[in-house]
Amino acid sequence: MSEWHIPFNRPGLVGKEQDYIAESIANGHLAGDGPFTKKCHALLERELAIAKVLLTTSCTHALEMAAILLNIESGDEVICPSFTFVSTINAFVLRGAHPVFIDIRPDTLNLDESQLERLIGPRTKAVLPVHYAGVGCEMDTINSIARSHGLAVVEDNAHGLFGSYHGKYLGTFGCMATQSFHETKNFTCGEGGALLINDPTLVERAEIIREKGTNRSRFFRGQVDKYTWVDVGSSYLPSDLLAAFLYAQLEARSEIQERRRQLWERYQNELQGWGREQGVRLPIVPAGCEQSYHMFYLLLPSMGQRQDLIAHLKERGILSVFHYLPLHLSDVGRRFGGQLGDCPVTEDVSDRLLRLPFYNGLTDAEQQQVVSALFEWHRG
């Protein structure tokens, strides 16, 4: 049990998870790419109208696969927001890439596309838009700049499954995109992820990389009579037990997204007036973006006030958390030359952002307690 009266996140069952796990055990196929993995692939490929989906052991691993597929090598530059999770860029740094950090827009906290062009150099290979909180980046501009410079676009869509931008699903704009099914995400199997592949020419090699560098997938399809080592690779496929859990969650997608929409809108409606009075900014979702309802954040006027509000909620048993520390100012970021002032919006937002409890099983009564606790707080 959590020590918190209202935790930040509480993963829970939404449907047939336990039935499907029992079925998976009965199937006798617990390793990867069993019946439930195939069901997850088919569901996501159909829903998102995408060439190929491959479940992975995490979003981090899907990003690593993307970096291998793009043949990233020593000295290649990859542009990525400083305001993101370490895996977005670490997967590319593992292949020898040099990170180039781009600042974010003050409204959506997504990478600021107006700064993209000036960061592109002769060694730039890829750009990694992160759809923060499941609100789409300006993909029309990003894709057109990337196209004119011959750059690959890999969307880190860890937050954004079933969100869309101008009527098209997030994760379908880049040559590849990555999903996370970590327990903090809208859909989970504890730890898990997926690589979405929009460029069909990448599919066959992706299967090989995911299967330890072997052509085992072709063997299972009867396309070769034995399988062997044909490329670099690793073990990126999750057990079918996890896919069984995940499939139950994906099947319940309408229900999950509807509940999250209600929770998000209630926070938004209840907190608008209070936010104006206290100088607290609520999330901004631009027209044309259908968000995935992944998180609800607040931007406090200052870091001191943010810390004060975290402590205020903690006294009431409510866990609220900050988010990304600027990557360009991390130990590794500094080794790559990152300095204070490189990404001023990121530095500012990182000090002031707070995320409220937000999960599928959050009850109306619990949410009301969070809202009431916020109303009891006044900036000093």
Ligand X SMILES: Cc1ncc(COP(=O)(O)O)c(C=O)c1O
Give the binding site for ligand X (CB under 6 A): 58-60, 84-85, 87-88, 130, 156, 158, 180, 182, 193
Please state, in angstroms and rounded to a whole number, the distance separating the CA atoms of residues 27 and 304.
Answer: 55
For 139, the token pair is 């993909």
Whichever of 89 and 202 has its CB closer to ligand X, that residue is 89
* Min separation Cβ 108 and ligand X, Å: 14
Please state, in angstroms and rounded to a whole number, the distance separating the CA atoms of residues 3 and 360.
Answer: 19
Whichever of 170 and 373 has its CB closer to ligand X, that residue is 170
Give Dmax (Cα) for the chain: 72
* Min separation Cβ 180 and ligand X, Å: 3
* Min separation Cβ 359 and ligand X, Å: 14
Whichever of 125 and 182 has its CB closer to ligand X, that residue is 182
37: amino acid identity, one letter: T
User: Which of 60, 119, 132, 117 shows the shortest CA–CA distance to 94?
Assistant: 60
Helix (H, G, I), strand (E, B) or coil at 244: helix
Please state, in angstroms and rounded to a whole number, the distance separating the CA atoms of residues 286 and 283.
Answer: 10
Q: Specify the long-range contacts of residues 367-373, CB closer than 8 Å, at least 24 apart.
A: 367/263, 367/266, 367/267, 369/5, 369/6, 369/316, 369/318, 370/6, 370/313, 370/318, 371/266, 371/267, 371/270, 371/271, 373/312, 373/313, 373/316, 373/318
How big, in percent rounded to 5, are the helix, strand and coil portions of the chain? Answer: 40, 15, 45
Please state, in angstroms and rounded to a whole number, the distance separating the CA atoms of residues 107 and 126.
Answer: 24
* Min separation Cβ 191 and ligand X, Å: 7
Whichever of 164 and 188 has its CB closer to ligand X, that residue is 188
Whichever of 214 and 249 has its CB closer to ligand X, that residue is 249
Whichever of 210 and 216 has its CB closer to ligand X, that residue is 210
* Min separation Cβ 11 and ligand X, Å: 13
Whichever of 138 and 156 has its CB closer to ligand X, that residue is 156
Whichever of 321 and 371 has its CB closer to ligand X, that residue is 321
Q: Measured in whole angstroms, how far is the alpha carbon of residue 338 from the centre of its chain?
A: 24
* Min separation Cβ 289 and ligand X, Å: 17
* Min separation Cβ 91 and ligand X, Å: 9
Whichever of 263 and 295 has its CB closer to ligand X, that residue is 295
Q: Which residues touch 243 (CB under 8 Å, ≥6 apart)?
A: 24, 34, 36, 37, 39, 40, 55, 189
* Min separation Cβ 181 and ligand X, Å: 7
Count of H-run helices and E-run strands, the chain = 14, 12
Structure letter (DSSP) for residue 92: H
Please state, in angstroms and rounded to a whole number, the distance separating the CA atoms of residues 337 and 325.
Answer: 16
* Min separation Cβ 330 and ligand X, Å: 15
